[in-house]
Amino acid sequence: MSNRWMAARLQGYPPSVFAEMSALAKARGAVNLGQGFPDFEGPEIVKQAARAAISEHHNQYAISAGEPELRRAIADHAQRFYGQAVDPDHEVTVTSGCSEAIWCAAFAFINPGDEVILFEPAFDTYVPNIRMAGGVPVPVTLRPPDFRPDPDELRAAFGPKTRLILVNTPHNPTGTVLNPAELSLIAELCQEFDVLAITDEVYEHIIFGDARHRRLAQWPGMAERTLTMSSAGKSFSLTGWKIGWTIGPEALQSAIRRIHQFTVFASVTPMQYAIAAALRLPDGYFAELRAAYQARRDFLLEALAATGLTARSPEGAYFILAGIERFPFDHADDFCRYLVTEIGVAAIPPATFYIHQAEGKQLVRFTFCKRWETLEAAAERLVRLRA
Ligand SMILES: Cc1ncc(COP(=O)(O)O)c(C=O)c1O
């Protein structure tokens, strides 16, 4: 449908396939393993902290950079989990989710014509945000079966026009957690080509087995040129609260704070107090989150393997990217329509996560951030896919 009022910069972005699949799932009563948010609640103690913050009059505009209590909690969390020393006054900015942090970073650091390296498949806001800021996305494709960056392709992506690299680890949707060798190569290239690094670490607490989440900001020479971004949504199963943050040197924060000030200005005040409490939950909470997701991952992997889909076990995040090459569908869009209408399970064809869309046409994303009943109902239905 043509829309003469829509600005030119927005043309060329079709409505997202997420909306189509969700509508189909609802109409067909399908089990929804498409949408990447939990169908269970976050910790009661954190919800109680939000109620208390509202009762205690934390209801007016927050300080633009974030309430001091939350910035202190973010700094203490960085020290506790990574031994990272962070100055809460000058090196932290609170945003409305990591999504806002990504937007702020695009507009704070990209000049028109600058090249921005990213791994594809990429979270669906990255490319539009880079382009709207005038940047040129340069994708490095993560391919099956192991979805790891090829060192030569990564090196070849860097050049004189490269301004920044956007790194997502643990990675949505492949589940790859970058290892020390990969992070070292990124650090080396950033310094060789004088490039800024932005890291999206929203799945930092959802990692499995021996995988360990590491911060690029802590690699030698990287603290001064890395902005670390994360948020509360995934770690506390409270995706609707939209509290995120950036950690990084003052020079980067002053640019981020300027964009934040001119757009959102301040993030929701009572939720900032509640997330400060969440970040101080004991280690046991984070261990339980990991264990709960690991059990769900294993269950869904087994259910998918039994159907003939090819799936690698993700090291982190809460998605499984499965291959449909054994099924008679040329494109994942058609496979997903069949899956939702005939089998009763919704999943996401990840072509929108790619610039080279053909790379994703034989892949389908399932999420396991769901209650056991939901996963069991999906597994029962998926059996019919094998038949
Ligand atoms: C990789 C990645 N980055 C950022 C976000 C958005 O985070 P938030 O809800 O904090 O804005 C998501 C949400 O799905 C994500 O998967």
Span 174-219, pLDDT tens digits: 999 999 999 999 999 999 999 999 999 999 999 999 999 999 999 9
Listed by start position, the domains of the chain span 14-42+284-386, 44-279
- Flag whether pLDDT at 22 surpasses 60: yes
Closest CA relative to residue 255, chosen from 387, 378, 111: 111
Q: Tell me how far the alpha carbon of residue 18 lies from the centroid of ligand 1, in angstroms.
A: 15
User: What does the pLDDT look like over 317-345, one tens digit per residue?
Assistant: 999 999 999 999 999 999 999 999 999 99
Please write down the HEC assignment for all residues of 273-305: HHHHHHHCCCHHHHHHHHHHHHHHHHHHHHHHH
Q: Which residue type sits at 85?
A: A
CATH of 14-42+284-386, one of 3.20.20.120, 3.40.50.720, 3.20.20.70, 3.90.1150.10: 3.90.1150.10
- Select 44-279's CATH number: 3.40.640.10, 3.40.50.2000, 3.40.50.300, 3.40.47.10: 3.40.640.10
With a 6 Å cutoff on the Cβ, whether 233 touches ligand 1 is yes
Q: Looking at ligand 1, which residue's alpha carbon is closest to its atom 9?
A: 97
Task: Give yes or no for residue 387 having a pLDDT over 70.
Answer: no
Query: 36 CB less than 6 Å from ligand 1?
Result: yes
Q: Which protein residue's CA is at the shortest distance from atom 16 of ligand 1?
A: 172
pLDDT tens, position by position, 60-105: 999 999 999 999 999 999 999 999 999 999 999 999 999 999 999 9
Instruction: Taking residues 42-46, report their average pLDDT.
Output: 98
> What is residue 121's DSSP assignment?
S
pLDDT of 356 > 90? The answer is yes
CA 47: distance to chain centroid? 23
pTM (global) more than 0.85? yes
Q: Which atom of ligand 1 is nearest to the CA of 231?
A: 10
200 lines ligand 1 (CB under 6 A): yes
Asked if 216 and 197 count as a contact pair (C-beta separation under 8 A), the reply is yes
246 lines ligand 1 (CB under 6 A): no
Q: Give the DSSP per-residue string, 64-119.
A: TT--HHHHHHHHHHHHHHH-----TTTSEEEESHHHHHHHHHHHHHPPTT-EEEEE
Tokens for 57? 């009059």
Beta carbon of 99 within 6 Å of any ligand 1 atom: yes
Reported as a single tens digit per residue, the pLDDT across 210-264 is 999 999 999 999 999 999 999 999 999 999 999 999 999 999 999 999 999 999 9
Tokens of 83: 């031994």
Ligand 1 binding pocket includes 237 (Cβ within 6 Å):
no
